[in-house]
Amino acid sequence: MPKVTINDLLKKKSEGQKITVLTAYDYPFAKMVDEAGVDAILVGDSLAMVVQGLENTLPVSMDEMVYHTSMVARAAERAMVIGDMPFMSYQTSVEDAVRNAGRFIKEGGAHAVKIEGGSEVAEKVAAMVKADIPVMAHIGLTPQAIHRMGGYKVQGKTEEAKRQLKEDARVLQEAGAFSIVLEAIPMDLAKEITETLTIPTIGIGAGPHCDGQVLVIHDLLGLFERFVPKFVKRYVNLKEEALKAIREFKSEVEEGRFPTEEHSFK
C-alpha cells in the first residue's frame, strides 16, 4: 500500500482537501488509526501524560519516544509516522537536534519528526532538513514551555504575540518545515497564517480554517479524564465501555459463569 508522503500533504493543501492527524503510542491504536485512513500518526510526547500518567510532557525520554515510535511504525501500512522530539532532545544544540531526529528515523522507523518552538528553533529545523529528515514545526501553545508560559493557556492574544507567531510561521517555512502545528491560538490568526503559508497548517484548538486537524487519541476516545481542553471533541466514552466489560468479567468469574464449556478443552 502506498504510504502518505509530505508531497501528498502539500497536494492536499493545494487542492483544498483537509488533512487528518491523530496521535498513537502503540501497535493496536496505530493499527486502528491507519485502518481508518487518517493521513499521519503523531507519536506525541503527550504520551507522558496519557500513557505514562505523568503531570506534564517534560519527563519523557528519547529512548521511550523511540520505543513507542517503533511500535507505531510497525502498525502503519499507509499513514505517515511522525516522531515528536521530547524536551531537551533538541534545545541543547543543533548537533543534538540532528542526532536525536536521526534516531526517530533510524531506530523508530518514523518518516518525519515534530519540534516545538518558533524562530529560535529555525536553525535546528534547517539542519535536520539538510540531513534529509522532514520536520513538522509546532507553534502557539507549546507544552514543553509550560513553565515559561505559566500553564496551558491560549496564545497569540495580543497584537505583539500575533505578530510574533506570524513571523515564526514564516521563518519556519523558510527553514524547510513541511507543515506547522498551530496549537491553542485564536481562529482568525490561524486563518491568516494558513492563508499566508504554502505549507499546510495542522490545528489543535486553532479553529476550522487550518489545512488539517490533530487530536490526542485518548481525548477523542474518552480515555483521558484529568482535564478536557475546550478544543477537544469526545467522539466516544471508551472508558465507560471498557469498565462495563471488565466489571462483567469480574462478576462472571466470581459467580462461576465464566469460563463455560465453550471456553474449555476436552
Which position among 34, 45, 168, 211 is part of the footprint of ligand KIV (CB under 6 A)? Answer: 45
85 makes contact with ligand KIV (CB under 6 A): no
Answer whether 176's CB lies under 8 Å from 135's CB.
yes
The least CB distance from residue 261 to ligand KIV, in Å, is: 46
Establish whether 183 is a catalytic residue: yes
Residue 213 · residue 20 · CB < 8 Å: yes
Closest contact distance (angstroms) between CB of 174 and ligand KIV is 22
Contact pick of 46, 89, 155, 201 for ligand KIV (by CB under 6 A): 46
Could you identify the residue written with the cell 465501555?
Answer: 241
8 A C-beta contact, residue 104 and residue 85: yes
The CA-atom distances, in angstroms, between 10 and each of 43, 99, 115, 196, 256 are 21, 26, 19, 14, 58
- Residue 217 phi/psi, 5-degree rounding, is -60, -35
Is 27 in contact with 7 (CB distance < 8 Å)?
A: no
Task: Provide the sign of the torsion angle of the four alpha carbons 62, 68, 71, 74, taken in this order.
Answer: negative
The span of 11-19, 37-45, 100-108, 184-192 binding ligand KIV (CB under 6 A) equals: 37-45
Tell me how far apart the alpha carbons of residues 217 and 92 are, in angstroms, rounded to a whole number: 30
The residue (of 136 and 189) whose beta carbon lies closer to ligand KIV is: 136
Q: Binding to ligand KIV by residue 117, rule CB under 6 A? A: no
Q: Which stretch binds ligand KIV (CB under 6 A): 43-51, 127-135, 172-180, 228-236?
A: 43-51
- Which candidate in 183, 240, 252, 262 is catalytic? 183
**Under rule CB under 6 A, residue 211 binds ligand KIV:** no
18 DSSP assignment:
P
Among 204, 206, 221, 223, binds ligand KIV (CB under 6 A): 204
* Selected binder of ligand KIV within 22, 60, 97, 214 (CB under 6 A): 214
Maximal C-alpha separation, the chain: 75
Which residues are at the interface with ligand KIV (CB under 6 A)? 23, 42, 44-46, 84, 181, 204, 214, 216
| Residues taking part in catalysis | 183
